[in-house]
């Protein structure tokens, strides 16, 4: 039994299986968090290949925790950190969508996508049935129907893919066009010099660019690598649609020519040939034959009627071809419009929409997230408690390590929430260290640059115009000496010698205190004091 016969025999069963799998996939996709939580529990607790069985035999420690305990806590904390968000995150998601300009947009839903795909399949089925006759001229009608469905689905997938990319590209170009227009009308003195420099990927809760113009903040959050408009998919889709439309029309025209060639009425001279032999009923009729003139008139009327039928069939077919071509183009335009109106171009817009679209207020969001987080905590703690009880039975009699014995005795102190809090504290401390190091480096760089600018500034014209220097602290003097040393390393021997001579000459100048002491001694020597 070949593949075509197999598909034809089990067609209904395959359709039911495909629909069932599609429905299951849809519910799993829309409830992925619940499915993930269920899968984690199944992975640890199933009796065939449960992960707890192998983890409970591992005596390795990681500080005050067993390594197996950290594995379980880390596995559940990934889902917990994703769910456990406060009201500030809700507001950050709303503001992120507002910055990108996608507050009112929605993703392309599953039902809308399936409906659009079904329409494209049905539209492609018509011309696929015509084309299937040329794929295998000796194929049976059943085989022809199966080939028609295969070709129709292939055409629908290609057209849906191209129109989706074209619509998404047109929407992205419209956003980039508005950004460039806002940049063009902005003040040239304060606006960015160019839009080609796109900053790093801004997270949903990152608002470090609040001082930038709104169009620049929007550009930083788009899923683009350059602010230039692109028309690659638009041109490709238009060319592909035009080629497919021309090929479809050509095949339909050739199908019409084949049909009219096989029709005897539409062959030149066929009417005269068929009517020349007369009617067989006339051979056995006793009535006299009609006059020759009447027979000639009847032949001409019959030939004219047959010619008009063939011509009407041809003209009607051409009109149908034109209508089908218009319908084909309209469906592609509709698919492009759907892709233009739905979907996101921001890097994190879909995640922000998924976190906020079900909740109208901040309090509703917080209540829902707390309920989901509590369920995760319960599942995680149950898994951790089961692991700890298994480890107590497995390791208590097989270990001689006092540290392991202590850990087995104080399992109540190690809970999932305590691990989450400890991990959060470590992450916060690490971020604080990184921030503090960055600020220190920026402050040192700023001090060095300001000191270098002060040293290179022109000296006062006279000594009377100079202001007394304020004493420097040890830290400031140390930074100044380091800056001077850094400048000295870039000077040549002649420049260094000149600089040292100038410093020695400047040091020879007496200070106001030295001048006062010298004049005082002079006056005493002259007897004036």
Does the pLDDT at position 129 exceed 80? no
Does the pLDDT at position 283 exceed 60? no
- Pick 313 or 203 by higher pLDDT: 203
Q: What percent of the chain has pLDDT over 90?
A: 19
Q: What is the mean pLDDT of residues 282-292?
A: 60
d(CA 457, CA 463): 16
Does the pLDDT at position 346 exceed 80? yes
Confidence band of 336 (pLDDT split at 50, 70, 90) = very high
User: How many CB atoms are closer than 10 A to CB 163?
Assistant: 26
Does the pLDDT at position 171 exceed 90? yes
Does the pLDDT at position 237 exceed 90? yes
Q: What is the mean pLDDT of residues 419-423?
A: 88
User: How many CB atoms are closer than 10 A to CB 116?
Assistant: 20
d(CA 86, CA 362): 9
Alpha helix locations (H) across 136-289?
141-185, 214-220, 232-262, 270-276
User: In 3-state terms, what secondary structure has residue 66?
Assistant: strand
How many CA atoms within 13 Å lie on the side-chain side of 47? 0
Say what the pLDDT of residue 275 is.
Answer: 46
Does the pLDDT at position 131 exceed 80? no
List, for residues 444-479, the tens digit of each pLDDT value. 777 776 776 665 555 444 444 444 455 566 666 666
d(CA 226, CA 61): 49
């Amino acid at each position: 039994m070949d593949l075509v016969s197999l598909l034809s025999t089990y067609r209904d069963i395959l359709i039911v299986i495909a629909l069932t799998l599609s429905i299951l996939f849809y519910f799993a996709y829309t409830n992925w968090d619940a499915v993930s939580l269920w899968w984690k529990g199944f992975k640890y607790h199933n009796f065939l290949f449960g992960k707890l069985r192998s983890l409970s035999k591992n005596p390795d420690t990681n500080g005050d925790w067993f390594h197996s305990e950290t594995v379980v806590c880390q596995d559940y904390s990934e889902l917990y950190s994703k769910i456990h968000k406060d009201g500030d995150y809700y507001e950050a998601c709303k503001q992120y969508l507002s910055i990108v300009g996608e507050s009112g947009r929605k993703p392309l839903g599953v039902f809308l996508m399936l409906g659009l795909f079904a329409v494209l399949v049905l539209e492609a089925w018509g011309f696929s049935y015509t084309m299937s006759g040329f794929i295998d001229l000796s194929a049976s009608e059943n085989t022809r129907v199966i080939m028609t469905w295969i070709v129709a689905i292939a055409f629908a997938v290609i057209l849906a893919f191209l129109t989706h990319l074209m619509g998404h590209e047109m929407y992205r170009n419209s956003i980039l066009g508005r950004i460039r227009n806002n940049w063009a009308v902005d003040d040239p003195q304060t606006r960015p010099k160019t839009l080609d420099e796109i900053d790093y990927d801004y997270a949903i809760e990152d608002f470090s660019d609040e001082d930038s113009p709104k169009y620049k903040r929007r550009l930083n959050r788009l899923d683009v690598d350059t602010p230039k408009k692109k028309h690659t998919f638009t041109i490709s889709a238009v060319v592909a649609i035009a080629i497919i439309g021309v090929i479809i029309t050509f095949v339909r025209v050739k199908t019409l020519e084949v049909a009219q060639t096989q029709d005897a009425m539409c062959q030149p001279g066929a009417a005269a040939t068929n009517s020349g032999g007369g009617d067989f009923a006339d051979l056995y009729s006793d009535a006299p034959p009609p006059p020759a003139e009447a027979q000639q008139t009847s032949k001409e009327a019959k030939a004219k009627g047959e010619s008009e039928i063939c011509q009407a069939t041809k003209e009607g077919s051409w009109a149908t071809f034109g209508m089908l071509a218009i319908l084909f183009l309209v469906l592609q335009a509709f698919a492009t419009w759907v892709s233009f109106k739905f979907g996101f171009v921001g890097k994190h817009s879909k995640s922000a929409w998924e976190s906020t679209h079900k909740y109208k207020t901040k309090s509703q969001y917080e209540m829902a997230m707390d309920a989901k987080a509590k369920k995760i905590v319960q599942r995680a703690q149950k898994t951790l408690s089961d692991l700890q009880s298994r480890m107590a039975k497995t390791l208590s009699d097989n270990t001689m390590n006092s540290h392991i014995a202590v850990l087995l005795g104080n399992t109540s102190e190690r809970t999932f929430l305590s691990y989450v809090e400890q991990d959060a504290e470590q992450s916060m401390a690490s971020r604080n260290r990184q921030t503090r190091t960055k600020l220190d480096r920026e402050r040192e760089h700023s001090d060095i640059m300001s000191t270098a600018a002060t040293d290179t500034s022109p000296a006062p014209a006279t000594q009377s115009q100079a202001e007394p220097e304020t004493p420097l602290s040890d830290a400031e003097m140390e930074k100044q000496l380091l800056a001077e040393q850094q400048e000295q390393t870039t000077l040549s021997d002649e420049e260094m010698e000149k600089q040292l001579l100038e410093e020695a000459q400047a040091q020879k100048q007496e200070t106001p205190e030295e001048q006062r002491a010298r004049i005082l001694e002079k006056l005493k020597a002259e007897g004036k004091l």
